[in-house]
Structure 1
Amino acid sequence: MNTRTRNGRHRVATSRWLKVGATVTVTLGLIGSTIASASADPVEEQPRHSFAEYQGIPISIYEYGPSAEEAPTIVMTGGWPGTSDIFEASARKLASTYHVVRYDHRGSGESGHPTDTQSYTLENLAGEYGAVIDKTAPGRPIHNYGIAFGAWIAAEYQWRHPGRIVSLSSIGAPSADLVHYALADAATDPTVYPQLAFQLACIFYFAGYEVPDMPEAFFRTFPVEPVLAELMKLKGNPPMEWSNADTVSGVQMYRANTPERVVRSPRYDYLTVPVMQVFQSPDDQEGPLMIRGLAQHTNNLWLTQIQGDHGDFGRTSWPLIRAELDKAIATTEPGASTN
């Protein structure tokens, strides 16, 4: 009897100590996770992945840093070829201060890949942009940072919905429609004809995309990924993410927009935005003639010279780009006055 009683007491005591130990372990774990959360480095954190939907097409979104309620929002998307991964390093660095949204426009990454050309018009791409910002920063002002189509989409959205984008920062030409006026102006100046001929040669591939079916057939059969990767490597640029499927879809984006908006019938000749910031690089595709006379087509142009090209602008010129982005955001957030 006594032995059984002692064993019973021993079991009760052991059970109590196990409960105490479990409580201490859980408490220490919560404290540790709180400390880790408070000291987490946005550069190391995994982005928050979600999807928006527009016209039944899923759009892949990645968010970094604080929420839209806690910090100004910067939005980025990619150009062609490649996905918005081109801005992955920039997004992580900016997330120490800002709510950063990186998304893959239709035809790239994990987003839907419609097959008809009409789906890729700037009107539809701008509507998709609206769906992304309404999901990630509803009702809040937006700062955009982009290159090529990434900037052209934001410009289209601002033209259709003036006021939502308060700073539009672009590597090179910020608008397809305003490229039309830049090149038209250059065509009236014989002193720049050699540069104009070179610039047109650099973007001659635009015309090739007008040939029905041929570009798609080429990109479906030609090993685009390793060839482009090797070209990037030869130029000393970091690798970019793309697939043949993305490349084929990108043909539709050019076909739907460049002949109509850049060459024949631009929709607007003036874009109002609190700050339009252009980072001008020596990149052949984004030469100075692509933004010739741009100050006459917008209300507040900031122009900054940087080094680099489509692949390595963030690596070669990031401190300068970051400083200018900070300045644009500081002067255009609600309550601030634009310089």
Structure 2
Amino acid sequence: MSHTWVTASDGVRLSVRVTGPDDAPTVICVHGYPDNGSLWDGVVAELSSRYRVVVYDVRGAGLSDKPRGRKSYKLDQLSRDLFAVADAVVPAGRFHLLAHDWGSIQGWHAVTGGDPRIASYTSISGPDLDYVGAWFRDQLRRPTPKRLWHALNQFAHSTYILFFHIPLVPQLFWRLGIMRKLFQLAEPELADPEVSDGVHGIKLYRANIFTRLGRPKPKQVHIPVQVLAPTGDPYVSTPMQTEIAKWVPDLRIRRVVGRHWIARSKPRVIADAAAELVDFVEGGEEPRALRRAKVSRRKKFADQLVVITGGGSGIGRATALAFADEGADVVITDINSDGAAETVKLLRAKGVTAAEYTVDSSDAEAMGQFAKQVRDDHGVPDIVINNAGIGVSGPFLDTSVADWERVIDVNLWGVIHGCRVFAEQMRERGEGGQIVNLASAAAYLPSKILSAYATTKSAVLTLSVCLRAELAADHIGVTAVCPGIVATNITNTTRFVGVNPDEEHRRRKASTGLYARRGFGPDKVARDILKAVAKDKAIAPSTPEAKGALLLSRLTPGLLRAAAKLDVTP
């Protein structure tokens, strides 16, 4: 890494560090308050092998000069600082901008100026102040409960700005060490801030906030922009920094799991997101993550990647087709390669990207290899449907150990493997996701002929509820879908224990006929699955009897226990 000094238009010296290949695309990183350029150390480590990365201490921070006058910190001057750095390090070409907090506020002021040298902009937790002023006015001029809540919530989280405008007191708090302790308590991700950075950076607020918010003049931005909105940011709400499409037509919004200083706590997440936009603007193929994040009117699940196990028939196939109808790309597995191939043929006829793999979901090693191949070939899935399952019916004492092992392997271990391998990928990506596990109404509707099957489905339901609580912090939703009597191929493959082959064949045929006469097809379950994903439901019963049984299991469980003694063998 090389270090140099750049002199701004008013004589202020800016400390600039440059690293990475000279012939690579240039990325300029701008930090916020109360940071200095070290905020980007982790991100630079991720990017510098592929890009020429430029980091500078903004005026008032780090090694850069610290002018005393408030006017020296106005946005017009800060924008000129950015272009002075650009003139020094990339005088003959364009550059990509990556900024955080007050660095983002400066970045917005620069990109709204229309300078063609800025090729793309990635903003984190720092809205354009003119957009903010217009946004607040819009919430109050056309009030609804939701709009008023957004405005009041943001105002409540911005009260510290009023404190920064009190004469002398904030500076005193910094010099006494009070502010450092407050930041350390509230934001453990923030490195120990320098007193000098905190004291001088207050001028950013005093020079710009009220003049911009009071008389907003929002301008259009005509370059590719992505906003990375941390889900747990206590200072900058997601609505305020993302409801800007009217001014930014080429906008992408990505909700990343983390707090305000996510650039420091999860540098790889930030680096990967920034690199995807840079590569695309530099002429590469637009990755699915950017297409998915694009703000536009389109289908509900457009450009999302859905993985479905047991997708060769029944509920799995119907769900795959339903997601495809809503614009999703779909990857399916099935132990039956012919069924999987037929599903993919139907998917591609709808104009989406589709792929099939022959995988036994009960095989841990095979599922691990499959998950890796999906990530390498298609990317991290946004939605995973653990659907593969088999049926077993008959008395407990007639159910062999082999029967138990098989139904547990497929119905429970298959779900466990699917959750493990894909939840890990979702957590690492840092943009949330949704896992759907197919349980059954049998999970809460006991029957004396379904002891093995109901045991596995009860376990899937409990696993889903527990996993939902565990993954909530990662914004990964987990849903247990509980169908009742649905006409699928499962009745043709169900194992009926304790009877001879002829009787088993008769029962399969009778069950298939009964389920067909019921008239509730897998397409209706698929519809309920899409609704459950859209609303992030914890438990989603499908079919009227499944919904009724869930209610009875909570209100009158004794009645269901009594009914479980009935022989309903077909």
Residue of structure 2 equivalent to 1:60: 15
Residue number among 175, 178, 183 corresponding to 1:228 in the alignment: 183
Name the aligned partner's letter for residue 152 of structure 2.
A
**Deviations 1:70-106 (CA, angstroms, capped at 9, x unpaired):** 0001111211112121111101210010000011100
In 2: Cα distance, 1:129 partner to 1:241 partner: 26
* Structure 1 position 336, deviation (Å): 9.0
Matches within 5 A, 1:260-339: 260-261=211-212, 263-266=213-216, 268-282=217-231, 283-291=233-241, 293-316=243-266, 318-319=268-269, 321-333=270-282
Structure 2 partner of 1:24? none
TM-score for both structures, normalised by structure 1: 0.77
Question: Does the 8 Å CA contact 2:96/2:119 hold for their aligned counterparts?
Answer: yes
Which residue in 2 is equivalent to 1:210?
165
Q: Deviations over 1:21-80 (max 9, x none)?
A: xxxxxxxxxxxxxxxxxxxxxxxxxx211110111111011111112xx00011112111
Deviation of 1:118 after TM superposition, in Å, equals: 0.3
Share of identical aligned residues, percent? Answer: 24
Instruction: Give, in angstroms, the shift of residue 290 of structure 1.
Output: 1.2
User: Partner of 2:507 in structure 1?
Assistant: none
Aligned residues: 284
Given the superposition, is the C-alpha separation of residues 271 and 77 from structure 1 closer, same or farther in structure 2, using an over 3 Å criterion? Answer: same
What TM-score results when the alignment is normalised by the length of structure 2? 0.47
In 2, Cα distance between equivalents of 1:71 and 1:56: 30
Partner of 1:245: 196
Letter in 2 for 1:242: P
Root mean square deviation, CA, Å? 2.3
Q: How far apart in 2 are the matches of 1:309 and 1:144?
A: 21
**1:1-339, aligned counterparts within 5 Å?**
47-54=1-8, 55-67=10-22, 70-187=23-140, 188-192=142-146, 193-233=148-188, 237=189, 239-261=190-212, 263-266=213-216, 268-282=217-231, 283-291=233-241, 293-316=243-266, 318-319=268-269, 321-333=270-282
Secondary structure in 1 matching 2:112 = helix
Helix, strand or coil at the partner of 1:145:
strand
Distance 1:230 1:292 in 2: 28
**Residue in structure 1 matched with residue 355 of structure 2 by the alignment:** none
Is the 2:20–2:53 contact (alpha carbons within 8 Å) kept by the matching residues of 1? yes
Asked which structure has the greater RCO (Cα within 8 Å, sep 6+), the reply is 1
Q: Is the CA contact 1:148–1:173 (under 8 Å) kept in the aligned structure 2?
A: yes
Moved over 6 A (4+): 334-339
Q: Is the 2:96–2:121 Cα contact (8 Å) retained in structure 1?
A: yes
- CA offsets 1:99-134 (integer angstroms, 9 cap, x no match): 000111000000001111000000011111111111
Between the aligned partners of 1:260 and 1:276, the Cα distance in structure 2 is 25
Unaligned runs of 5+ in 1: 1-46
Structure 1 residue 331, shift from structure 2 partner: 2.7
- With 179-188 and 124-133 compared, the bigger mean Cα shift is at 179-188
CA distance in 1, matches of 2:73, 2:107: 14
* CA apart distance, 1:230: 4.2
Amino acid at match of 1:248: V
Tell me the CA shift for residue 182 of structure 1: 2.1
User: Partner of 2:430 in structure 1?
Assistant: none
**Aligned-partner Cα distance in 2 for 1:125–1:119:** 8
SS of the residue corresponding to residue 59 of structure 1 reads strand
- SS of residue paired to 2:187: helix
Per the TM alignment, residue 155 of structure 1 is displaced from its structure 2 partner at its CA by 1.8
Asked whether the 8 Å contact 2:226–2:251 carries over to 1, the reply is: yes
Residue range with higher mean Cα deviation, 160-169 or 79-88: 160-169
Looking at structure 1, the residues matched to 204 and 45 of structure 2 have their Cα atoms a distance apart, in angstroms, of 28
Provide structure 2 residue ranges, at least 5 long, that are not aligned to the other structure. Answer: 292-570
Task: Give the residue type in structure 2 aligned to 1:257.
Answer: N
Q: Are residues 146 and 292 of structure 1, via their aligned partners in 2, closer, same or farther at CA, if it must alter by over 3 Å? A: closer
Q: Distance in 2 between matches of 1:78 and 1:102?
A: 8
- Once the two structures are TM-superposed, the CA of residue 253 in structure 1 deviates from its matched residue by 0.7
Q: Is the 8 A contact 2:43 2:263 kept in 1?
A: no
CA shift for structure 1 position 313: 4.4
Amino acid at match of 1:197: L
The one-letter amino acid paired with 2:4 is S
